[in-house]
Amino acid sequence: MSTIAKHSIPTGTWAADPVHSNVSFEVAYAGTNTFRGSFRDFNATLADGSLEGAAKVASIDVKDEQLNGHLQTPDFFDAERFPEITFRATDLDSGELTIKGVTKPVELTATVSEPNVDPFGRERVGVKLETTVDRNEYGVSWNAPNQGGGNYLGDDVKLIAELAFVKQEA
């Protein structure tokens, strides 16, 4: 994928194509590997030089229904009280992430593709954003001791948004 200036937000109004986009996370698990999950229901828009997005906590998918349910509880995301995780940025170097009602600034690694036209005549652009946060700073602090020492879950969580945007009609 060819890329344009690393931190440029394209002009115009763009909406994420949820079929061709992904919002996910990675966290160290049991001292042995990386645990991954994603959100099935999310949205993102680029407009007027800013990026806004939200993921529905109830749509979390970690390939285990029982664990999906546990992640909805106050031990983790408390979906009943805080149904969305939100993000806002006016550039692609940094933004504000809100989880469980806690808003904190985050530094981003961003890549923006060259805009192109799909077979249906729609202009598209890809944006990939990554950041790492300490989940405890957002009140997502459940953990359990690992039999071999340390904790079951790492504190640092990598967040990844791979977004395919479609330009909206003016």
pLDDT tens across 76-121, in order? Answer: 999 999 999 999 999 889 999 999 999 999 999 999 998 899 999 9
Judge whether residue 1 has pLDDT over 60: no
- pLDDT category of residue 7 using cuts at 50, 70 and 90: low
* pLDDT attached to residue 16: 97
Distance between CA atoms of residues 78 and 73, nearest Å:
5
Lowest mean pLDDT: which of 27-31, 35-39, 93-97? 27-31
Which pLDDT does position 8 carry in this prediction?
67
Residue 152: what residue type? Y
Rounded Cα distance between 50 and 135, Å, is 25
C-alpha dihedral sign at 159, 56, 89, 7: positive
Residue 48: φ, ψ to 5°: 50, 40
Residue 83 pLDDT? 98
Kindly tell me if the per-residue pLDDT of 162 is higher than 50: yes
pLDDT(3) > 70: no
What is the structure's pLDDT at 34?
A: 95
Count CB atoms within 10 A of the CB of residue 163. 26
| CA contacts within 13 A on the Cβ side of 162 | 9
Q: Where is pLDDT greater, at 170 or 110?
A: 110
Confidence of residue 156 (pLDDT cuts 50, 70, 90): very high
* Structure-token pair, residue 32: 């042995």
Pairwise CA distance, residues 17 & 43, whole Å? 8
Q: Tokens 């948004």, residue? A: 161
Residue 41 has pLDDT above 50, yes or no: yes
Higher pLDDT, 11 or 128: 128
- pTM, two decimals, is 0.91
